[in-house]
Amino acid sequence: MQMLLHANSLLLLAPTTSRLSASASPGRSGTARPLPPPQGHAHSARAAARGTRRPPAVAAASPRTPMAVGEECAAAVASQGFVSDARAYWVTRSLIAWNVNDQDTSLFLYASRDATMHVSDGAIHGYDSKIELEPEHASLPDNVAEKFPFIRSYRTFRVPSSVDVASLVKCQLAVASYDAHGRHQDVTGLQLPGVLDDMFAYTGPLGAVFSDKDVDLYLWAPTAQDVRVCFYDGPAGPLLQTVQLKELNGVWSVTVPRYRENQYYLYEVKVYHPSTSQVEKCLADDPYARGLSANGTRTWLVDINSETLKPASWDELSDEKPNLESFSDISIYELHIRDFSAHDSTVDCNSRGGFRAFTFQDSAGIRHLRKLSAAGLTHVHLLPSFHFASVDDNKSNWKFVDEAQLAKLPPGSDEQQAAIVSIQQEDPYNWGYDPVLWGVPKGSYASNPDGPSRIIEYRQMVQALNRIGLRVVMDVVYNHLDSSGPFGVSSVLDKIVPGYYLRRNVNGQIENSAAMNNTASEHFMVDRLIVDDLLNWAINYKVDGFRFDLMGHIMKSTMIRAKSAIRSLTRDVHGVDGSKIYLYGEGWDFGEVAQNKRGINASQINMSGTGIGSFNDRIRDSVNGGNPFGNPLQQGFSTGLFLEIGLAGNLKDYVLRTHTGEAKKGSDIYTFDGSPVGYTSSPVETINYVSAHDNETLFDIVSIKTPIGLSIDEKCRINHLASSMIALSQGIPFFHAGDEILRSKSLDRDSYNSGDWFNKIKPRLENPSFRPLKNHILSVFDNFVDILKIRYSSPLFRLSTASDIEQRVRFHNTGPSMVPGVIVMSIKDAQNEKCKMAQLDKNFSYVVTIFNVCPHEVSIEIHDLASLGLELHPIQVNSSDALVRQSAYEASKGRFTVPRRTTAVFVQPRC
């Protein structure tokens, strides 16, 4: 960051052809992959469908990708002659559902504890038990159909009450169908989440529970045949002891002496695994781990509440939290932990790129954040910081490019990208959207990945940011996991209860629309793990908000339960005020969950009325033009209804005038795919943005979409105009780190694995006419700070209810006679004591904001705004931008004059 602030050595690097690649598929958010893509990634289908970037784990880190597992499974089936699919569903203790049509079909359930079943001559052999199922004439019960709506039409068969279901779910299982003459028709495996939820849903303790003398370990594993815990001497030392656990109703537990604290352990789970059709002994971390060794090879048995893990005054941090009166006061700055300080020479070299960098109070990065905080910014959103797979925690294994040598290459050279690609699986950079374990900070960001450092330093980071006036948002990725199967170190949950935590299709294959290994929050214990994990971060790390990656792949009920659990936290009991913790996420509706096929999901439309925010692609696409997967040359800065409804909080009931003069609600105006433009019930439910980590940076977008000959000065004006539309919208503004200082990523949309070089927060565009100079960067930053100050100068820019917006916000340059390229938005407060409208602002009674996207000055008369005591906002009167100071208002005619590519704010001061 300091390179941008001082602008002493602006290094330029050309966008190469591969950096300009883009998918033609339409999408809501997100990006094309940087080329060439690393082997083993599978997020293109998800990204092209709707959404965002996604780096699932690389092949090197996760050799058992879903495809690899499928291939191994197929090989195993070929050798055994048994089934590899699972098309039948055991939905409750007594019901099995299968999509069979013949009413005379009879079904039998087969089980083998040692997984020795095989098919020969149309018959199943090697089973321990064979159970005839009774056909049911009724359809699926309502509660089952609600939970599994995609199998609503399946026929149901009853399991005899005499069957020991708890024992059977530990076996290799199959159902076979026979016709009325007893001839074999079909055979398939079973999906078990329904019956496991019905019989083993559990709300008691999980993980490690510490008392004065003992530690109790609890593991939910109802399909396991045996569970032991292996204790080790240190993060890489030898096995010390193996201890047997006992099972009660699907939960395995053991009590060990307190001296085990700070030892390392793994669970050894003996369980039938459908991916190999074998009973496997899986070594797995504790799903409720609160500490890990490097790369998660072992779980560290740690008491997260130990005083030795707390920074000074940690327990009093709630008293130091920056004030937050309303969620409508929030503004968010999205930041990658490594981007923040990897190149910051004002940070100790051993702390750069990690948690500790935020504790250097006089560093260039912290000085920059402090300026934003002083202007009104409230939240820093940190990209994933839990334990993910794609970066080695051991710094001694990292590889780096020689940046000094890359800087000497011609800006149009391909050699920089080739150098990055050659080490990108072994360098320290990745966004981190390939989760392994959710509940532990990432070791690569800590000074030491073993032991207490990651816990202490994460807490120090939150504390340091809070102390400069910024609350901390954690980016959580509950929609998918890095790996599955019984072997890889980055597979955890699927080792312990195979086939439960991951969502599968009707053939039994793992769904991959979210990248890979989609999780299934519709299952009770997945929902519980997500909520428990959120509480862990909220209580133990005092995190102030959560951003949900692909929130639409999570069930709405999970999000509602999460919100309720978090809101119940109190400072007296938990040391946290849960009412101040904000939730938001990506509400894209695609893949197997689209249109509520797996239950009511947390999509944009469904989340209306919940108070949970979702990213507003409507305002993004209106400002930028097109969408992230469309033609990159499609122009933005439109003045259409999409933008106006976005400025008005994206409310579904807000009424707008179309170009024909017709009045329409936001919900009656539609996007290209038929979705309503307005979908929120409250302004706190919309996250307004024009760029994010998985799109181009704002300056790159401007550079792509504007004419080649346009001067850098004009590009800077457009950059600021876009930011001002977000900053002055009703709703919650969201800014990508560096957009306020002309950051470029060489036009790379999907830079998740593009290394420090391409993600460095500094401009790198090839054409000299694109080259920002020091004065451009400082000017754009000054204007950004001004626009933040304007937002926080009046509560009228931060209305908290739909009724307030509907009552106070008006758009004036509308209908058939509108002047193209100009948006005029007024916000009215109570004018006097007799006014029925409540007074919100003690300083201003009227605010008028004009966005002039035209390349020329505009003079426009708005009769409804005549005879007011409007004047240019005092912050803009004193702005370093000479053009905005020329903005004027003529009261007698209601005439506003606004210079080219300028946002002008006029206020009526109270007497």
Tell me the catalytic residues.
Answer: 549, 586
Beta pairing, strands 379-382 & 471-476? parallel
Six-digit token pair at 33?
Answer: 């992959």
For residue 303, the one-letter residue type is: D
What's the angle, vertex CA 19, arms to CA 14 and CA 20, rounded to 5?
100
Q: Do residues 733 and 332 touch, judged by C-beta distance below 8 A? A: yes
Name the β-bridge partners of 518: 480
Sign of CA dihedral 789, 794, 795, 797: negative
Contact 507, 85 (CB under 8 A): yes
CA-based nearest residue to 752, from 394, 490, 429: 429
Query: Does residue 800 contact residue 838 with C-beta atoms inside 8 Å?
Result: no
Burial-class residue 443 by CB neighbours within 10 Å (0-12, 13-18, 19+).
Answer: buried
Question: How far is C-alpha 838 from the chain's CA centre?
Answer: 37
Three-state secondary structure string covering 552-592: HHCEHHHHHHHHHHHHCCCHHHHCCCHHHCEEEECCCCCHH
Count of all residues that appear for the chain in the document: 911
CA distance 576 to 768: 51
Q: How far is Cα 64 from Cα 40, in angstroms, rounded to an integer?
A: 10
Q: CA-CA distance, 832 to 431, in Å (whole number)?
A: 52
CB 794 within 8 A of CB 847: yes
CA distance 451 to 264: 10
Distance CA 793, CA 37 (A): 46
Under 8 Å between Cβ of 894 and 859: no
How many Å is the maximal CA-CA distance in the chain?
Answer: 95
User: What are 726's two structure tokens?
Assistant: 């977000």
CA separation (Å) from 144 to 93, 148, 572?
A: 12, 6, 40
- Cα–Cα distance, 130 to 341 (Å, whole number): 63
Give the count of alpha carbons within 13 A of 676, CB side only. 19
Q: Which two tokens stand for residue 541?
A: 């790390």
CA quadruple 257, 258, 259, 263: dihedral, nearest 10: 100
- 865 Cβ contact partners less than 8 Å away, ≥ 6 residues apart: 812, 824, 826, 848, 894, 896
Q: How far is CA 600 from CA 440, 560, 589, in A?
A: 30, 12, 11
**Which residue reads 């496991």 in tokens?**
196
Written as one letter, the residue type at 386 is: F
* Cα separation of the two ends of the chain: 43
238 C-beta neighbours (distance < 10 Å), count: 7
Cα–Cα distance for residue pair 547/734, rounded to 1 Å: 12
Cα distances from 394 to residues 72, 357, 430, 449, 450, in angstroms, run 30, 18, 15, 7, 9
| Secondary structure in 3-state letters for 331-383 | CEEEECHHHHHCCCCCCCCCCCCCHHHHHCCCCHHHHHHHHHHHHCCCEEEEC
